[in-house]
Structure 1
Amino acid sequence: MTKKLAIGMFQNGRARGTWRMPGRADEPNFTDLEYWVDLARRCEAAGADFLFLADSYGYPTLDGAVIPTAIERDVQFSTVDSQMLMSALAAATSTLGLVTTVSTMAEKPPIVARQYRSLDHFSKGRMGWNVVTGSAQAGSALLFGEPLMPHDDRYALADDHVQLSLKLWEGCWADDALVKDADTGIWADPGKVQEVVHDGPYFSSRGVLVTPPSPQVTPTLFQAGASSAGRELAATYAEAVFLAAESKALAEQISDIRRRAEEKGRGRDAVKCLIAGTFRIADTEEEARRAHAEQIAGISLEFAATTYAYFTGIDLLSLDLDKPMPAAAANTDNGRTNVERFLGPDAPTVREIIEEFRANGVMGKPFLGTVEQAVDQAVALIEETDADGFLVQPDPDGGHDIFFDKVMPELRRRGLIKDELPGTTLREHLFGEGCVRLPDTHPGAAFRQSAMAAAAR
């Protein structure tokens, strides 16, 4: 394998598992800024392309009420606002890309546009936006006092949201609009700062983004969601997509995204496909398997079912455990990715779904064994699926020490990762030095004033 893998480090803005360990409950954790600063610095020192902080307003619900197990066992009940961390992490690092999730259901486009433009300035071009319609939508809808929008409608709204955001980023300011001429006292050329006019099915705007362009102009665009609607959104706008499934399904999803992107004129390599990488390492394969089995044994079926309900809104424990999920239960307007993966002619039983979530959650089977064995398995999966890299999941205690200390050196020894990150911006980290802005083949490029003027001629 000759490609250099992209490495993103995953962490949701929640408690690390050390609070469950005797004598470690008082260690710096998710409400301590020093914990996040230390994590970012360790990611940077290890040579990761970016740190990705997931986020959601939602929480596990059934029949319009929070699931008590979620509170008791912390299923999404120890979160902080990841966006609030970004300025501190930008100040504490100099090369690490920083990616956060903001739901198109929760924040309006002008808010998102200004937040990410500001953060892209503060980080000197290292920001990425993970575009999602949200997770645990039923809980989020309750929190905001809104009806639960049908799944495909949420993606139609997301498309409209991203279009307006791109118009604000790419279309308001011409490249040479910012003058800053001390002699004339001119800050910017008013003829080159234009109102964006947008009248979409969900959002309307006639206004200007008053913050001047940042290094990337548009933050690097990510997407997570493997439903058909999610893959369409990724192929249209995303520059990197996060995927988690078994090998065959991953290969099909990646091939489909590349095909769709090519059909849209973006090219098959326009979207970096990053797959979940969970590494369970020990001195021997037997020790690694024993440790993994012990970890699984500590997870109850109720906890696993609550986690599944968080992503889907489906109560698996109310179904016949020894039959596949019935079509009526699978017809949900919450997340579709973790429903569709368990449907089809070879659908598992409900009990098997619960056991899968108990063992692996949403991320698929771990790479398991000695560090050499685990990296062999990881490389094999890259080759089987044509993926571009990994979004690395935390170690059993919620940190990344094993990956930093053992896996990264082995990847580097094999020449599988970059010796140095190219360029200074996140987009350059992923696509190479000089690739600072959206390429001309991206739909956002059509909103630039130069492109609009050329189209009008």
Structure 2
Amino acid sequence: MTRITTKKLAIGMFQNGRARQTWAMSGREDESNYTDLEYWTELARKCEAAGADFLFLADSYGYPTLNDTVIPTAIERNVQFSTVDSQMLMSALAAATKTLGLVTTVSTMVEKPPMVARQYRSLDHFSKGRIGWNIVTGSAQAGSALLFGEPLMPHDDRYALADDHVQLSLKLWEGCWDDDALIRDSATGIWADPAKVHEIIHDGPFFSSKGVLVTPPSPQVTPTLFQAGASSAGRELAATYAEAVFLAAESKALAEQIADIRGRAEAKGRGRDAIKCLIAGTFRIAESEEEARAAHEAQIAGISLEYAAATYAYFTGVDLLSFDLDRPMPASTAKTDNGRTNVERFLGPDAPTVREILEEFRANGVMGKPFLGTVEQAVDQALALIEETDADGFLVQPDPDGSHDMFFEKVMPELRRRGVIKDELPGATLREHLFGEGCVRLPDSHPGAAFRRTGVLV
């Protein structure tokens, strides 16, 4: 078969710290699940054995709410509800693996920059340079704000805060320690050269700091920076700081988003190839297209409109069931101060009806339509989408049973046979996995590089 793309694709594996839906399957209530550490270490080892670039664990303090209270369906059916702290898993996963990149979400709305800087620098040490930070302003932000007893910050203000947060974090990572500051000379008793360890000063619109990140530089110095969020503000944040972005939409929208992000990055002097654009990849594989389609439709049949509406509310704060199901969603929903990506995609002159939005969420959630059929058909569809959108790889969603086993056993070998994924991961760090051997540090074109070796930073 003729290869559609000549790129070597990046493959990230998606999971979140939430309970899998397999608990609801008869006879599987007691299986190892998300509260067992062994479940996560086994998952990480499988990802590594398959040759994935990284494992990504999404996370949020939020949960589905409407009118300042939790949605009962979310509790009853575990809709984006029960979770563990993904950041707490990272040291164990680093110890259980040798080459796999490890990426977690930490919201700029919850953790302060010095906390984030120390956490990720420590994890970068423990993993020997395999850590990435997914920068978000928070999903289910209304629930998170209620939990922390804070007002819900307007959407665009959250992104302004995120910009200030990342600025300070980069100053702490890149500006505190010169490359040769750490001495560790037992003969002289000198730990570090005081002239090469600098206080940073930051006086931003949201954060202020004067001090030193006391943890010495780790292999990457700054963790590999990811971003998820396709609103205009999200794309601007990605173009400024991200090294990889996660995107999910239909082909035309994906192509437009990727072109926009690349154009913004180029305008900032970073270059069009400075950011790896990774699109959601949901693979539904069977011996025939008919079997795959039947299995997918059976899965959809088990999801109620109430379940879909609770999922939509988690990402947007919008109550779809309060609208006329046979008319488009009101344009006023574009002003939501929760997530806008999954509102904006359903507005405009060709807007679907509310019922159609609910049906989309029943079938595909936020991840877009699956690649469906035999393994050859699904891979054909996936590579065609790469070609249509100019994406750089996939963030692979779990199989229907919550695992990635089908992808590892069927899809990865087919991708490897077609020569579109790496035979082995380049370099030892996550940044090298994505950009090639030797690309350990932030490139000089990244704004974080401006904070190196400048002493006091204002």
The TM-score bracket by the shorter chain reads over 0.9
Query: Which residue of the other structure, out of 176, 189, 192, is the alignment partner of 1:188?
Result: 192
What are the superposed Cα offsets for residues 338-358 of structure 1, whole Å, 9 maximum, x if unpaired? 000001111101111000001
**Residue 19 (str. 1) matches residue 23 (str. 2):** yes
Q: 1:87 maps to what in 2?
A: 91
Query: Which residue of the other structure, out of 298, 301, 304, is the alignment partner of 1:297?
Result: 301
Q: Does the CA-based 8 Å contact 2:279-2:394 persist in structure 1?
A: yes
Paired residue secondary structure (1:79)? coil
Q: 2:72 maps to what in 1?
A: 68
Query: Which residue of the other structure, out of 307, 313, 324, is the alignment partner of 1:309?
Result: 313
Query: Which residue of the other structure, out of 344, 347, 361, is the alignment partner of 2:348?
Result: 344
Q: 1:103 maps to what in 2?
A: 107
Query: Which residue of the other structure, out of 109, 114, 117, is the alignment partner of 2:118?
Result: 114
**Residue 417 (str. 1) matches residue 421 (str. 2):** yes
- C-alpha displacement at 1:142, in angstroms? 0.2
- C-alpha displacement at 1:329, in angstroms? 3.2
What are the superposed Cα offsets for residues 9-45 of structure 1, whole Å, 9 maximum, x if unpaired? 0001011222111111111100000000000000000
- C-alpha displacement at 1:330, in angstroms? 3.4
Paired residue secondary structure (2:348)? coil
What are the superposed Cα offsets for residues 259-278 of structure 1, whole Å, 9 maximum, x if unpaired? 00000000000000000000
Query: Which residue of the other structure, out of 430, 441, 445, is the alignment partner of 1:441?
Result: 445
CA distance in 2, matches of 1:399, 1:335: 27
Q: 1:127 maps to what in 2?
A: 131
Q: Does the CA-based 8 Å contact 1:120-1:126 persist in structure 2?
A: yes
**Residue 170 (str. 1) matches residue 156 (str. 2):** no
Partner amino acid for 1:132? V
CA distance in 1, matches of 2:375, 2:427: 30
CA distance in 2, matches of 1:246, 1:150: 27
Query: Which residue of the other structure, out of 381, 390, 401, is the alignment partner of 1:377?
Result: 381
CA distance in 2, matches of 1:360, 1:76: 15
Paired residue secondary structure (1:449)? coil
What are the superposed Cα offsets for residues 89-139 of structure 1, whole Å, 9 maximum, x if unpaired? 000000000000000000000000000000000000000000000000100
Query: Which residue of the other structure, out of 368, 390, 403, is the alignment partner of 1:399?
Result: 403
CA distance in 1, matches of 2:235, 2:87: 25
Q: 2:149 maps to what in 1?
A: 145
Paired residue secondary structure (1:197)? strand
Partner amino acid for 2:423? D
Could you state the TM-score of these two structures normalised by the residue count of structure 2?
0.98
- C-alpha displacement at 1:328, in angstroms? 2.3
CA distance in 1, matches of 2:264, 2:297: 40
- Higher mean alpha-carbon deviation, 14-23 vs 257-266, is at 14-23
**Residue 328 (str. 1) matches residue 315 (str. 2):** no
CA distance in 2, matches of 1:94, 1:295: 36
**Residue 221 (str. 1) matches residue 225 (str. 2):** yes
What are the superposed Cα offsets for residues 43-70 of structure 1, whole Å, 9 maximum, x if unpaired? 0000000000000000101011100000
Partner amino acid for 2:200? V
CA distance in 1, matches of 2:154, 2:272: 30
Paired residue secondary structure (1:53)? strand
CA distance in 2, matches of 1:176, 1:432: 24
Could you state the TM-score of these two structures normalised by the residue count of structure 1?
0.98
Paired residue secondary structure (2:170)? helix
Q: 2:276 maps to what in 1?
A: 272
- Higher mean alpha-carbon deviation, 326-335 vs 396-405, is at 326-335
CA distance in 1, matches of 2:163, 2:224: 16
CA distance in 2, matches of 1:328, 1:379: 37
**Residue 364 (str. 1) matches residue 368 (str. 2):** yes
Paired residue secondary structure (2:119)? helix
Q: Cα RMSD over matched residues?
A: 1.1
CA distance in 2, matches of 1:285, 1:41: 31
- C-alpha displacement at 1:331, in angstroms? 2.1
What are the superposed Cα offsets for residues 154-206 of structure 1, whole Å, 9 maximum, x if unpaired? 00000000000000000000000000111110000001000010000000000
Paired residue secondary structure (2:7)? coil
- Over the matched positions of the two proteins, sequence identity in percent amounts to 87
Q: Does the CA-based 8 Å contact 2:426-2:436 persist in structure 1?
A: yes
Query: Which residue of the other structure, out of 34, 48, 52, is the alignment partner of 2:52?
Result: 48
What are the superposed Cα offsets for residues 418-451 of structure 1, whole Å, 9 maximum, x if unpaired? 000000000000000000000000000000015x
Q: Does the CA-based 8 Å contact 2:22-2:29 persist in structure 1?
A: yes
CA distance in 2, matches of 1:15, 1:140: 19
Q: 1:209 maps to what in 2?
A: 213
Runs of at least 5 residues in structure 2 that lack an aligned partner in the other structure: none
Partner amino acid for 1:109? P
Q: Does the CA-based 8 Å contact 1:314-1:330 persist in structure 2?
A: no
In the alignment of these two chains, the number of paired residues is 454
Q: Does the CA-based 8 Å contact 2:286-2:292 persist in structure 1?
A: yes
Q: 1:353 maps to what in 2?
A: 357
Q: Does the CA-based 8 Å contact 2:333-2:343 persist in structure 1?
A: no
CA distance in 2, matches of 1:172, 1:336: 36
CA distance in 2, matches of 1:140, 1:75: 16
CA distance in 1, matches of 2:75, 2:228: 25
Paired residue secondary structure (2:40)? helix
Query: Which residue of the other structure, out of 151, 154, 159, is the alignment partner of 2:158?
Result: 154
Partner amino acid for 1:35? Y
Q: Does the CA-based 8 Å contact 1:289-1:368 persist in structure 2?
A: yes
Q: Does the CA-based 8 Å contact 2:106-2:134 persist in structure 1?
A: yes
CA distance in 2, matches of 1:329, 1:285: 38
